[in-house]
Structure 1
Amino acid sequence: MKREFYESPKPGKIMQWLWKAAGSDGYILKKSTYSDQVKYACLGGIVVATGFMAAMAGGYAIYTIFEPKGSALEGGVHPTTAVMSCLFGIVWGLIIFNIDRFIVAATGKGDGTEAITWQEFTNSLPRIIMGLVIAITISKPMEIRMFKSEIDAELHQEQLEKRKAYEIATKANYETLFNKVDSDIEKIERKREQLRAGIKEKTEVRNNYQVALQKEIQGEVGSGKSGDGPAADAIRLNLEIAQKELDDAKIALEDFDRSNKNELTRLNTERLNLNRELQNELTKNQEVASGLDGLLERIKLAHEIAGFWITFFITLLFVVIELTPIFFKMMLIKSPYDFMSENIKELIRAGEGIQIKYEYYKDKKGQERNLVINHQVKSKLDEKVSLMAAQSELSDYIVQKWKDREKGNIDNNLDEYIAEPK
């Protein structure tokens, strides 16, 4: 706006957009001083920056929650999760931007001085609490992104420890089952070995008799004469007995194998199934250990790694950024923008027939209240009341005239109004 003593600077598109972000009136700011234009552009810049940080924090938090779980040191980006996180981050940033814009726009100027009075602070307390919640929500995902390398290393070590602990516990759970199956298999195998040892022993006895019989027939032992004799017959009898015992032992082993075949097959199958289940459980344990790579675990590790004071000051930084516009507006000294804004509001109220009498009366608690008079409403109400009063007066006049006419009819035709007794 051009004036003889001052020409308001012409704002650019970006500055006007920042004014809108701060919830200020661009029409008034175009006529205001450059310092007012810059102040509200800065307020809008803080609101935009907060929305941008909220978008990044929200997007990263969602990506951390929904990304495929695995070793904390495995790199790479999951495209589907990244796209989903970007979309959510944009929506989340716009939500926080809109909330911040409302908080800043709804925060008044206070008493128009640099001092922040207790009354101003208590009046802004709900907005301050909302700002604190938003700041903490934004700061936590940003913290885990700042310390990502340290968190990944610590988280990987924790995953390995968890996986090892799960593996020990799982193997301990299956150890009893394996021991029982192995014990049953061992009993069968031990009995079989006993039978085989008996067969081997009886085979050696039979072979010894065969060698002795051959030597006896050839005359290599005894009398030294070859051919059959009583000694050979005695050896032959023992050989037949040994062969019979050997055949019986072989039959016993065959009967044992036949009778225990199904049981041995069942035990071996059960052991294979147990081993397969154990491997599946160990694989699940690896997945469970990898599942520790979540948002809550990373926030906890960030606090452990960085310590209380570092995380506190990071959170404090975001709190300051978030609450700066609120305290800034309470510290603003009234400027031409404020006076022109009040003037336009008064003009609009006057144009709409609204009158405010400040501190006009006291309520039941003794607090002074303003009296708001809506003259257009009062005019409409008075008009309606007058119209209804006129209608009521006309109705009374009509009724009176009707009564007068009926009285005349009765005077002239009394007999028509008197009913004959039956």
Structure 2
Amino acid sequence: MKKVTDFFWFCSGAHIDTLKRYPTEHNKYVGIGATIFFTALFASLSGGYAMYFVFAGNPLAVIFAILFGLIWGLAIFNMDRYIVASISKSGTTNQQVLQATPRILLAIMIGIVISRPLELKIFDKEIREKLKTSYLNGQRSKIDTLNKTFANKYVTEINKTAELKAEKDSLEKDINRSRYILNQEVFGDKTNQTSGITGYGTYAKQKESLVVQKEQRLETLRKELAGMDAFFARRKDLDGLSDQRMFSGKQLDSLANVAGFADRNWALGQLSFKEDGTRDMDNYLAISFIGFLFILFECLPVFVKLMSNKGPYDIALQNVDETYIYKSDKTKDQDIAVTDGVHDTRVTTEIDKQKQIVTRSSIRELERHDWD
């Protein structure tokens, strides 16, 4: 437990030698250090999971995810440790809040960043279903667009085909009706269109000839329609329309499995809305609460440091800082004094030299006057 305690003290950014002298402060900094450590652990998992999707399908995806997760976790750990350690308890409450404000904003940004990949994992099943629906709708829209483009390109041929089909359908009904009348004529059924004479006579032959003509025309129409169908088949192959098919269930599963981070992030955002565009409050609140939880977890060490009373460790740490500042200022003053002393000595020596020069000059001048 001593090693665990020392490790969490290190994570909290506390001055361990000073903290050891105040047992009442031990648990507080163990809690702060543990919060920082687990925040970095979640950040590592979040960063590794995000990087895994960036390199999805690559044989080295797991290795890249582990390396990036470790680097990202250490970076978050270092920032959190600095944020908590840099908050001083020596000032007033307003000063501490003002000092902690930029650090809280940074903690909020870190919480948002590390929560998003974990939200993607938590709502993985719902995201897959949303992606499948999106891919299916996208494929349907693509096929519809190609069909509209094809129809606009070959509007004349399509209209001609529609006319031939309409004529063919009408002619088939007319042939069936003519065959029925022919049978009535042969069997001698008296109607407005038959003679009522039984047997294959002149009227029957005339009606049969009319049926044959209509069947010949029908065969011609069928050949023309077959030619148009062949034409459209060739054009669809050339335009790429024949290759387009609606995705099967296995294809949708495969697409959802290889979806990238951007697609999954978009799908997570769409979970907050219903199909009619209105807000789905259940999903929205669930996603929001998870994000708020990680943001609060990231800000918790700063809040704990702000809410805690000024303890003996904080006072001792302040005294240590003031002592080192005093020693530093005193050493600086001594260095300045030594520098000033050296300067004074150099000035005095220079003055003495000038005095000696003046004295020798004066003696020579006196001796010259005495000689005269």
Q: TM-score range by the shorter chain?
A: 0.5 to 0.7
- Residue 17 of structure 1: aligned partner: 7
- Per-residue Cα deviation, 1:183-209 (whole angstroms, up to 9, x for no partner): 9xx9xxxxxxxxxxxxxxxxxxxxxxx
Distance in 1 (CA, whole Å) between partners of 2:152 and 2:310 is 82
* Cα separation, partners in 2 of 1:403 and 1:145, compared to 1, 3 Å: same
Q: Secondary structure at the match of 1:321?
A: helix
Question: Residues 413, 302 of structure 1: CA spacing in aligned structure 2 closer, same or farther, 3 A cutoff?
Answer: farther
Deviation at 1:375, TM superposition (A): 1.7
1:48-127 residue pairs with structure 2 within 5 A?
Answer: 48-68=37-57, 79-109=59-89, 117-127=93-103
Cα distance between partner residues in 2 of 1:349 and 1:110: 15
RMSD, aligned CA: 3.4
Letter of the aligned partner of 1:399 in structure 2? Q
* 1:276 Cα deviation from its structure 2 partner: 5.1
Tell me how far 1:83 sits from its aligned partner.
2.5
Q: 2:131 aligns with which of 155, 173, 178?
A: 155
Is residue 236–residue 242 contact of structure 2 (8 Å, CA) maintained in 1? no
Q: Give the letter aligned to residue 18 of structure 1.
A: F
Could you say which residue in structure 1 is the equivalent of 2:268? 299
Output the TM-score relative to the length of structure 2.
Answer: 0.66
Retained in 1: the 8 A contact 2:130–2:267? no
Q: Distance in 2 between matches of 1:81 and 1:27?
A: 43
Please give the alpha-carbon distance, in whole angstroms, between the structure 2 residues aligned to 1:413 and 1:271.
Answer: 133
Q: Contact 1:140–1:299 at 8 Å: present in 2 too? A: no
TM-superposed CA distance for 1:321, in Å, is: 1.0
- In structure 2, the CA distance between the partners of 1:163 and 1:66, relative to structure 1 (3 Å rule), is farther
Q: 1:404 to 1:295 in 2, by over 3 A?
A: farther
Kept in 1: contact 2:36–2:77 (CA 8 A) = yes
Q: In structure 2, how many angstroms separate the alpha carbons of the residues matched to 1:392 and 1:55?
A: 65
Cα drift, residue 273 of structure 1: 8.5
Structure 2 counterpart of 1:27: 17
d(CA) in 1 for partners of 2:28, 2:13: 12
Contact 1:109 1:331 in 2 (8 A): no
1:261-295 residue CA offsets vs partner (Å, 9 max, x unmatched): xxxxxx99x98687255169849x999x8767624
SS at match of 2:81: helix
Asked whether 1:326 is paired with 2:302, we answer: yes
Structure 2 distance, partners of 1:87, 1:274, is 49
> TM-score normalised to the size of structure 1?
0.58
1:278 has 2:240 as partner: yes
Aligned to 1:193: none
> In percent, how many aligned pairs have the same letter?
23
- Unaligned regions of 5+ residues in structure 2, if any? 162-229, 274-279
Deviation readout 1:96-129 (Å, 9 max, x if unpaired): 11111111111223669xxxx4443222111110
Aligned to 1:392: 347
Equivalenced residue count is 283
Match of 2:68, SS state, is: helix
Correspondence for 2:34: 45
C-alpha displacement at 1:331, in angstroms?
1.7
2:106 to 130, 137, 144: 130
Please state how far the C-alpha of 1:13 moved relative to its aligned partner: 1.0
Question: For 1:49 and 1:86, how far apart are their aligned partners in 2?
Answer: 17
Question: Residue 154 and residue 393 in structure 1: after superposition, are their counterparts in 2 closer, same or farther (change >3 A)?
Answer: same
Distance 1:280 1:12 in 2: 72
Contact residue 178 and residue 274 of structure 1 kept, 8 A: no
Query: Contact (CA 8 Å) 1:22, 1:104: kept in 2 or not?
Result: yes
C-alpha distance in 1 between matches for 2:97 and 2:61? 43
Q: Which amino acid aligns with 1:336?
A: P
In the alignment, is the contact (CA less than 8 A) between 2:147 and 2:241 conserved in 1?
no
Q: Are the equivalent residues in 2 in contact too, given 1:108–1:330 (CA < 8 A)?
A: no
What SS does the aligned partner of 2:60 have? helix
